[in-house]
Amino acid sequence: MISLEEYLASGQTTYSNLVLDNYRKIGLTNEEFLLWLQLFRYNEAGNHFPDLAMIASQLSFTQQEIYYLLNQLVQKQVVQIISTKDTSGKIVDHYDLSLIFNKIAVLKEQEKMTQTKKKEQEKIRELYQSFEAEFGRPLSQIEFQRIGQWLDEDHYQVELIQLALREAVLNQAYSLNYIDRILLSWERKNIRTSQQVQEEQKRRKRQLMQKEAPKEKQLPKISLHNWLEED
């Protein structure tokens, strides 16, 4: 049984689970990662250029196999051999192992972008479904193209189109032309977010309240606006 003294004397190696979770995703084999771990272990202990023959012996690999794995790590840009001068002017080599973290950072950013794109595609799919649900029928090819133009050419946000659809439904106007007038009106007023739409609706409601207050005590909860008469 190993003694406490031997356990403490052997030291410990600490590295991020992010590396363990993603080394395969950045293209490393198990053997390549095992060599990287050994290099990282010695680097943490202060030995920045360990003897590869010693590592080969520890891993029960031949030196030729270790050299091959090291070459693969360099080719895959997760290890770099750097030469510098020490205080006496002597050239010394060391392994730069930080490149693996750059690789993983790029990977995580790509995964984030992919996830964002998937969410955006899901929102667009739900947008088309909302139109079909409100219109009570499947959209025609021309209607699909019109909505696609709002997204791809006019660059309206999905949320803004959803709000324009809701505005049209409240006015019982089931027409893409009507919705287009709403979007154009908002664009002229530089309205681009749902919060700005809400502020505009509150503004219109206040105007209606001021206009109708002398005539009626009970005001409608939802102000209807004829977008076809918008200048």
In the chain, the domains with their CATH numbers are: 4-97 (1.10.10.10), 121-229 (1.10.10.630)
Q: Sort 173 into a burial class: Cβ within 10 Å, 0-12 / 13-18 / 19+.
A: middle
Half-sphere exposure of 106 (CA within 13 A, CB side): 11
The b/e string for 112-145 (b: 16+ C-beta within 10 A; e otherwise) is eeeeeeeeeeeeeeebeebbeeeeeeebeeebee
Distance CA 114, CA 220 (A): 45
Calculate the alpha carbon distances from 15 to 36, 43, 64, 115 in Å: 11, 12, 27, 27
Average pLDDT value for residue range 57-64: 95
Which pLDDT does position 86 carry in this prediction?
83
Which pLDDT does position 158 carry in this prediction?
95
Which pLDDT does position 180 carry in this prediction?
96
Calculate the alpha carbon distances from 32 to 19, 68, 99 in Å: 13, 9, 14
pLDDT tens digit sequence for 12-30: 667 788 999 999 999 999 9
Which pLDDT does position 198 carry in this prediction?
83
Q: Residue 25's closest CA among 84, 83, 106, 90?
A: 106
pLDDT tens digit sequence for 148-187: 999 999 999 999 999 999 999 999 999 999 999 999 999 9
**Total-model pTM:** 0.66
